[in-house]
A and B are shown apart, each in its own frame.
Chain A
Amino acid sequence: MPGSTSHSPAKAKIAVRDLTMAYGSFVVMRDLNFEVAEKDIFVIMGGSGCGKSTLLRHLIGLREPAKGSILFEGEDFTATPAAERGRFIRRMGVMYQSGALWSSLTLAENIAMPLEEHTQLPPGTIRELVSYKLALVGLSGYEEYYPAQISGGMNKRAGIARAMALDPDILFLDEPGAGLDPLSSRRLDDLILRLRDSLGSTIVIVTHELASIFAIANHSIFLDTATRAQGATGNPADLRDHSENPAVRLFLHRGEETEAPAPIRS
């Protein structure tokens, strides 16, 4: 994997500033600060229930921050009134945990719906686009299947295809590998890497699957359940070997205690 890319604010696709997330009076995470650079595969990791998915919901505008702000290409996304957020949201693609395909529609209709809504393309072109997107994720020939008729792994891949329907600049994937067998999970990782390389999109992934993290991520944030704050940011492999935060090392070593790190290479 490439080492961590440089993160100058000018190139940051997403910049999170002092973000505090809360459900009512219950603070999930406080004072998060990180940036996602263009063409990064950025992983949000942390233990179960630490607020990874909540952070994702903030990034895609489904929840309001209790404090702080989120900048999308330098523009304050959270300060924009909800009605005007469409222009940001239209450039994001989201795959939810289990795919969240609309269950009353076929795969083709699922992917066609955003296109019909947001473009003026003729039906023939939409059909071509739909079968191209499905082919990208390896689901050619499944156009007329309903989500309930295909496996969980296929649902996730179809979810990615739908997330890419409007050619987003940035893809958000919520636990793409969860509940998949090792081979499907691996195939999904390969798919994600190839999509990044060939489409040039920025990808933000919520996951706690270590194998996936080391295989695909070049930048990451670790959310620490114990302190309710960010544990570290950086390249996952670097964090594993050189992080000064024992919680981060423990997580990335699957619970094995490790020695205090050697100084981080410059």
Chain B
Amino acid sequence: MIAERMRHNLQVSATSTMMKIVPHWSWRLVSRDYPAIMCFMTAPEATPPRALWLRDGGRVLLDLSGEWRRGGTEPVIEGEAGDRLPEAYVTDGLGTFDSTLPAFLLAMIRRMEAAEPPLEGLPPNLHGLMELALAVPEEIEARGEPEESTPIKVLGAASMNVWAGVRSINEFTGQSMLSLGRFMAGRARFRPRDFWMIVEDCGAKALPIVSLISFLIGLILAFVGNVQLANFGASLYVADLVGIAMVREMGVVMTAIIMSGRTGAAFAAHLGSMKANQEIDALRTFGFDPFDFLVLPRMLALVLMMPLLTVYSNIIGILGGMLVGAAVGIPPILYWNETLSIVTLENAFLGVFKSVFFGIVIAMCGCLQGMHAGNSSAAVGLATTRAVVASISAIIVLDSAFAAIFTILDI
């Protein structure tokens, strides 16, 4: 059976090897001598891809046939060759093929780890593709040899990374403080226009989102509080709850989180893309200190705007509570008086005090990640993500610390 097939193959091979990439029907016309009329009437049926191992005397041959196309059926492999590569190929039954066939052959050759596998009998285009794929790669443009990694090395690299991270944060903080010092001494230079644009961007332009979030937070606090307090007939104390919660915690924390996502991310993305575009190098070349020029105005703008936004957020949150109060039967005047009686200047000041620190943290996280971003667009995205994650985490940690301190100080 096999021998017969081979004989047939060898007979037609001379005519058919030239025709592999021409449309299906036409090579059939030539190689199989079907009546022409049949070819136009029957749609080309997809013969499944097949690889058949043959023996011809001492030689091992691989007969490739069928349509090797993506999305077709899996290739059928018949026969055994043991650990040998084919010394030649038989391709008379081979239809059209795309990359699946060379990929199949390359994988087979790679498995055998043959240095110079024979490619005899492959049609010229496939032969050319295989030669290209098997060519010895040129010397890889060096970026150092890849090192083998062991768990110890991975652990070591991770700890070194943590250490490098700590160092870069310290260095950055130090440089920011020096820059702030130069500003106080009147020696730091940045463009006032840049500063006012940043102020506008992280102040006035943040009002809508801060309004929405604060109003809803006030609303939610009032709803939740009212459900509990109504059990005791103490609905009026909703005003106390919302007032204290907003001015001490929720107002400032929510504003800080909004600003991390909005402004901290923008800082990181802006500085990161400036770095990728070598604009920061260009600043250095012209003798501008990138800290004075880029980090300082951002930090100052946030330190200036955060307290204002916090006060605004507190007021809007209390208004949100008042709306719920009105809905559950607390007259706004009563609600307002109750709020005034509980929200002392001291309470209100605590939130505003914290907002200054949160502003510094957001600006530092955003600028640090931006300045340390890598030189690609993907690195800018990574820097943005890191900036937001770092500043939100830092805000919550810092807020817990403040809570502990205020409790101990009994404020």
Chain A: residues with CB nearer than 8 A to chain B? Answer: 26, 47-50, 57, 60, 62, 86, 89-90, 92, 94, 96-98, 100-104, 113-114, 117-118, 162, 165-166, 225-226, 228
Contact = CB atoms under 8 A, between A and B. Distances in A.
Contact of A97 (B191, B274, B278): B278
Given A90-B287, A117-B287, A117-B288, A225 B279 contact: no
14 contacts: A48-B141, A57-B281, A62-B281, A86-B287, A94-B282, A94-B285, A96-B282, A97-B278, A100-B279, A101-B279, A102-B282, A118-B286, A118-B287, A225-B141
Interface of B: 139, 141-144, 189, 191, 194, 273-274, 277-279, 281-288
Contact of A100 (B141, B277, B287, B288): B277
Contact of B285 (A26, A50, A89, A101): A89
B281 to A, nearest CB: 6
A98 B278 CA distance: 8
Contact of A103 (B189, B194, B277, B287): B277
A47 B281 contact: no
B182 to A, nearest CB: 13
A60 B285 contact: yes
A24 to B, nearest CB: 9
A103 B280 CA distance: 11
Given A49-B142, A98-B277, A225-B142, A92 B285 contact: yes
Residue from B141, B191, B194, B277 whose CB has the most chain A CB atoms within 10 Å: B277
Contacts of B191: 113
Smallest CB-CB A-B distances: 5 pairs: A100-B278, A96-B278, A49-B141, A114-B286, A26-B144
A90 to B, nearest CB: 6
Contacts of A101: 279, 282
Contacts of B139: 225-226
A26 B143 contact: yes
A256 to B, nearest CB: 16
Nearest to B284: A62
Contacts of B288: 113, 117
A154 to B, nearest CB: 15
A212 B190 CA distance: 39
A113 B286 CA distance: 9
A26 B141 CA distance: 13
B287 A89 contact: yes
Contacts of B194: 104
Nearest to A28: B142
A5 B282 CA distance: 31
